[in-house]
Structure 1
Amino acid sequence: MSAIRQVSGDERLRTAFTLYPYAFDETPSPAAVEDLRGLLPYHEGNHTLIAEEDARTLATAAAFPAWQNLRGVVSPMAGIAWVATHPAARRQGHSRRLMRRLHSDMVDKGHRLATLFPFHPSFYDKLGYICLPQNPTATFTPEGLAPLLDVRLPGEVRWQNIKDGFDTYRAFQRTLLPRWHGFTYTPDYRAARVLDAANRWLVTATVGDTVAGTMTYRIDGYGGALIVDELLCADAIGRALLLRFLAQHAHQVTTITVTVAPDDFPETWASGLAVRTEAETAFPTAPPLMARLLSMEALHGAHCGPGRVAIEVVDDQLLAGRYLLDGSGGTLEVSASGTGERATLTAAGLSGLAYGVLDPLDVVARGLGEITDAAAAELRSLLPRRVPRSFGKG
């Protein structure tokens, strides 16, 4: 059986990085491995594992440290990435073993949540992950926002290259982290990819001395498209200021495409705005984010409704056990199992309830648990449906 070990620094070039070009890029490319040397700084704090046999790297998986908001509680989160296997070593269990070891290592480091973009969702289903809603894009013409040009708004916008406004951009993301369920804040060494490339414009909306919104974007050519990465706004005024800035690009670009949250409604941004809102999911090219709990501690203190239910988590090396979920105090308390309505859940079923993307009946219908009607009512009150704003890729 292959041995699993952690690698770091330049050793990644001779081990994990040898698999990346084949798995994620156009091949063959003789210079690809050496070109990856430039990516080393963006892996600086990653926890990188390899499976090897006779000094040959067969598979790899990595995680970067981040923070994520789960129902009002900000917890350390592991961002799983760079999962790859040599083509001759596939379907032999290497990636599954690496993922289990990676989960265990990240829990030991204090991480309570994990997210990833799956290459094959059913593989991660069995590892306890659940799909989160895809962030849709809204596409419209700049002329559609023309009504905003005549509106007097408090505040102003500042336009600059991302390289000059990086600190402001990151500081605003930190303010959103405790406010938005599902929001992720990545480490500086990973977020620096957008800084070092310097291929984005940054617009910052401020009201007084307070930042009310930011967006990074690029223009693909005269008469082409203006593409906004993520529309991040603290309130409606911040959004209106950013949209008014976009309206000023009439006669320069033909269309504007903005990535928005699943619970945003672009058709309400301006009267008569003709907009196409869509979310494409395709594997492996456009997968939705998947997430799971690594520790029951992630639920401690979460905002919840009233309720009390005893659950048993099964078939999971990290969460298996019996617990009591109690929301009588307005925030969730998790303790050793006691009295109450009972439910049996897989890790994916519990994660779907925790992130607010599944109703208890969805859990049952998908075979992710067995829940009585009484327990379903308690869980529905404790962990009501809630849309994660899974922004903040960094």
Structure 2
Amino acid sequence: MIVRPHRPADDEQLYQLTRLAFGGPREPSGPEAFWSHRTEGWRGLVAEHDGRIVGSLKVRDYRQFFGGVAVPMGGVASVAVDPHARGQGVASALLDTALADMREHGQVISALYPSAPALYRGRGWEQTGDYQRATLRPEMLALLPKPATRPTMRRAGKEDLPALTDVYLSVASTVDGMLDRATEAFQPEEALDLDVLDVVPGPDGSLLGYLAAQRPDGDKLVCEDLVARDGETGLALLASLARWTGIVNEVSLRIVDPAWWQLLVALPVLYEVVNHPWMLRVVDLPAAVTARGWPAATHLTSFAVDIEVADEHAPWNSGRHRLVCDAGQVACEPGGSGAVRLHARGLGPWFAGSADSAMLRRAGLLTGDPVDARLLDLLTGAPHPCRMADSF
């Protein structure tokens, strides 16, 4: 078996392979069903045996916010293996090749949505954050407080796309795990095709918030984004959803901003939240530490933590490192005593701040000096929730 980059000539085989894995019609609906239809923003790998493709994987080009900085991230997706070849190491070989490929392309971390958690844990990814949708009846939203003044809302146009991006980034940059949506993997103009793309204008041509949603057949409204710079705008956008009462029976609300979800939408009744957890992996530890933001470091006195990493599948991470916090900057240097020992699976939750050292220790992913390990928590502010509002 060989693992190699995707070629346009692979498209027919890849369509049938991914159809078996994820479902879909036997015959492609058109050229847009093939991998080569759009080549920007991703790279593909295929596993080939005896001249036939038996596995596939995509690495999407993303950037993910941690500490207020967008860190280059490889989004692993479309992992599929032909049924007859499963259990023979095909997916593992694809992932091992992808790790080296991501490092070569400067994607210092990697995230994925796991259909087979044991497979990805075996290669160093670990559950780190959530993608959530809430299902609500629109009349429930009518119970929320109304904004002090009802703002003007209008349909967005192409000229609003830069301002939409600014509003989204004003929120996303403050939530660890969110994507910056600024790479070629995203096409901002696609938002204009949504059934609902309403904005709240602000002064000087800026926007205070926006609501993006689809109205499929049936009695549901599917809300993709509800983003606001302030609480009054958030309440106004939620009130606009309440006005779907009597038109639809259900609002599927993607939870983008934890502020309005936890602090504005506090309803005294039960409702359903569906969670799709995602996993994170540190691909290149020194480079990832350099790329991340460390806002807590500006308030800490200088110190160093010596760690030792065991990473079988990204051996360049293995060995002893010294994490140095000095003058508000954090760096990862070679050497040190290895006072704290981290498994590769522990690096992702530590880097993201979703798990503190006590949690990692109980899970068997960290051992060693508890005092030094606590310093790792101070760097990331762990533990705190991490959230992504894009699936792939």
Same fold, TM-score > 0.5, yes or no: yes
Name 1:320's counterpart in structure 2. 318
**1:150-180 deviation digits (Å, cap 9, x = unpaired):** 533375322358x896565445444545433
Following TM superposition, by how much is the alpha carbon of 1:197 offset from its aligned partner in structure 2, in angstroms?
9.7
**In the alignment, residue 324 of structure 2 is paired with which amino acid?**
D
Residue 244 of structure 2 is aligned to residue 249 of structure 1? yes
Residue 126 of structure 2 is aligned to residue 130 of structure 1? yes
Residue 283 of structure 2 is aligned to residue 304 of structure 1? no
Give the stretch that moved more between structures: 87-96 or 168-177.
Answer: 168-177
Name 1:115's counterpart in structure 2. 111
Identity of aligned residues (%): 21
**1:123-157 deviation digits (Å, cap 9, x = unpaired):** 11121112133233333333334366853337532
Give the stretch that moved more between structures: 150-159 or 48-57.
Answer: 150-159
CA contact (8 A) 1:6 1:48 kept: yes
Residue 207 of structure 2 is aligned to residue 211 of structure 1? yes
**In the alignment, residue 250 of structure 2 is paired with which amino acid?**
T
CA contact (8 A) 2:208 2:233 kept: yes
Distance 1:55 1:199 in 2: 42
Name 1:290's counterpart in structure 2. 279
Q: What secondary structure does 2:252 align onto? A: strand
Name 1:227's counterpart in structure 2. 222
CA contact (8 A) 1:185 1:392 kept: no
Alignment of 1:1-394 (within 5 A): 2-8=1-7, 10-26=8-24, 29-32=25-28, 37=33, 40-146=36-142, 151-153=147-149, 155-160=151-156, 168-186=163-181, 190-192=185-187, 195=190, 198-208=193-203, 209-220=205-216, 224-261=219-256, 263-264=258-259, 266=261, 268-269=263-264, 274=269, 276-280=271-275, 287-296=276-285, 297-300=287-290, 301-305=293-297, 306=300, 307-316=303-312, 317=314, 318-338=316-336, 342-385=339-382, 386-393=384-391
Distance 1:110 1:257 in 2: 36
Distance 1:138 1:23 in 2: 27
Give the stretch that moved more between structures: 150-159 or 352-361.
Answer: 150-159
**In the alignment, residue 289 of structure 1 is paired with which amino acid?**
W
Following TM superposition, by how much is the alpha carbon of 1:376 offset from its aligned partner in structure 2, in angstroms?
2.5
Distance 1:149 1:185 in 2: 31
Q: What secondary structure does 1:143 align onto? A: helix
**In the alignment, residue 273 of structure 2 is paired with which amino acid?**
E
**1:232-268 deviation digits (Å, cap 9, x = unpaired):** 3333233122112212223222332312158446474
**1:72-112 deviation digits (Å, cap 9, x = unpaired):** 22221111111111111111111111111111111111111
Following TM superposition, by how much is the alpha carbon of 1:113 offset from its aligned partner in structure 2, in angstroms?
1.3
Distance 2:171 2:9 in 1: 36
**In the alignment, residue 5 of structure 1 is paired with which amino acid?**
R
Following TM superposition, by how much is the alpha carbon of 1:65 offset from its aligned partner in structure 2, in angstroms?
0.8
Give the stretch that moved more between structures: 150-159 or 49-58.
Answer: 150-159
Q: What secondary structure does 1:230 align onto? A: strand
Distance 1:210 1:165, change over 3 A: closer
**In the alignment, residue 319 of structure 2 is paired with which amino acid?**
G
Following TM superposition, by how much is the alpha carbon of 1:343 offset from its aligned partner in structure 2, in angstroms?
0.6
Following TM superposition, by how much is the alpha carbon of 1:71 offset from its aligned partner in structure 2, in angstroms?
1.8
**1:175-211 deviation digits (Å, cap 9, x = unpaired):** 5454332111346654349829935421223322322
Following TM superposition, by how much is the alpha carbon of 1:56 offset from its aligned partner in structure 2, in angstroms?
0.5
CA contact (8 A) 2:61 2:183 kept: no
Distance 1:239 1:358 in 2: 29
**In the alignment, residue 304 of structure 1 is paired with which amino acid?**
A
For structure 1, the residue ranges without an aligned partner over 5 or more in a row are: 281-286
Aligned residues: 381
Question: After TM superposition, what 4+ stretches of structure 1 lie above 6 angstroms from structure 2?
Answer: none
CA contact (8 A) 1:134 1:279 kept: no
CA contact (8 A) 1:342 1:375 kept: yes
Give the stretch that moved more between structures: 173-182 or 82-91.
Answer: 173-182
Distance 1:221 1:183 in 2: 30
Name 1:284's counterpart in structure 2. none
Distance 2:210 2:42 in 1: 27
Distance 1:221 1:36 in 2: 23
Distance 1:272 1:117 in 2: 29
Give the stretch that moved more between structures: 54-63 or 39-48.
Answer: 39-48
Distance 1:273 1:229, change over 3 A: farther
Q: What secondary structure does 2:317 align onto? A: coil
Give the stretch that moved more between structures: 173-182 or 148-157.
Answer: 148-157
Following TM superposition, by how much is the alpha carbon of 1:378 offset from its aligned partner in structure 2, in angstroms?
1.6
TM-score normalised by the chain length of structure 2:
0.85
Following TM superposition, by how much is the alpha carbon of 1:274 offset from its aligned partner in structure 2, in angstroms?
4.1
